[in-house]
Amino acid sequence: MCAARPVLDSLEGLALGDAFGDRWFSVPLDEAPAALAARLVRPAPWHWTDDTAMALVLVRHLLDGGEVRPDALAREFAAEYARAYGRKYGPSMHRVLRGIGAGGDWRTITAGQFEGQGSYGNGAAMRVAPLGAWFAEDLDLVARQAERQALTTHFHPEAVAGAVAVALTAALAVRSRGEDPPARAELLTEVAGRLPDTDVRSGLRIAARLPEHTSVRHAANVLGSGTLISAPDTVPFALWSAAGHLDSLPETVWHTLEGWGDKDTTCAIAAGVTAARTGLAGVPPEWLTAREQLPGWVGEVSLTTDRSPGAAAGDRNTR
């Protein structure tokens, strides 16, 4: 059985973080620091971006089949892109998703990006937290499924590692429901220990060693906060922020925003992780009113599905 509540909670949190963070791109640079210091919530509406659009596709895909089926998922990502390409997709994803939508093989297209290196952007990581919640009972399965979904658009090992790291952190957040949250350093160290030798892993290990009193701005300067739109420059900071505020979704979002950088994506990643543990508890109602609503099918999902994703998947093997 797959308990759908943590999955949907993670999805709702991801969308909230995405829309919340994106709204701050319109704040004039000379006004932004004071507005953030005063925690002035931005006026409605808060529209979500490609981060949420792709997460919705991924969750619907899991609901339909119980596991990641890369051929189908790649086509579904491309179909959603064609339907709503104005969701701020990045340049490389325009090329990838148009090519897949035109009938190209996703393996050839993704592997051909950036002279055969593939994209190491943060797009595979920004959408994956709900998958970690889905497969939370089996961390090895979380890693395999996160990798499979990543490869449909991002061939580079760093992008894959970033997606795996986010999914694992979300899974561990789900496992801590009803208990004290894991300590930040322990959580980040455990996730890093399950990753291959990558810059993402190195970033998480550095994040785990930052003193507890480290300011957000210092952490962002050391780890990066998505300015380069890459997985190594985005994931360690977003997970550091989430891991320090696993009992409060609003605090996760505010603190992540302080890092500036790729604000919609860092907030989406961090909020997707924290919400996998907390749900929307403590979120001001006006935030949810301001945020663009998710499609109607999200509210129609049963709190428990009769899928057995772990068994099904186990039987088979910038931006």
Residue 230 three-state SS: strand
* Tokens encoding 224: 């990066």
List the alpha helices (DSSP H) in the chain.
4-23, 32-37, 50-65, 70-83, 91-101, 106-111, 113-116, 123-126, 129-134, 139-151, 157-175, 184-193, 199-209, 216-223, 231-243, 249-257, 263-278, 285-290, 296-300, 309-314
Residues 225-274 pLDDT 10s: 999 999 999 999 999 999 999 999 999 999 999 999 999 999 999 999 99
* pLDDT the model gives residue 173: 98
Residues 116-134 pLDDT 10s: 889 999 999 999 999 999 9
* pLDDT the model gives residue 281: 96
* pLDDT the model gives residue 309: 44
HEC assignment per residue over 68-104: CCHHHHHHHHHHHHHHCCCCCCCHHHHHHHHHHHCCC
Residues 131-186 pLDDT 10s: 999 999 999 999 999 999 999 999 999 999 999 999 999 999 999 999 999 999 99
pLDDT average, residue stretch 19-45: 96
Q: At what angle do helices 157-175 and 184-193 cross, to 10 degrees?
A: 130
Confidence of residue 304 (pLDDT cuts 50, 70, 90): low
Characterize the bridge pairing of strands 304-305 and 2-3: antiparallel
What is the average pLDDT value for the chain, to the nearest integer?
93
* pLDDT the model gives residue 116: 86
* pLDDT the model gives residue 115: 83
pTM of the model: 0.94
Domains of the chain as residue ranges with CATH: 2-313 (1.10.4080.10)
Task: Between 2 and 283, name the one with better pLDDT.
Answer: 283
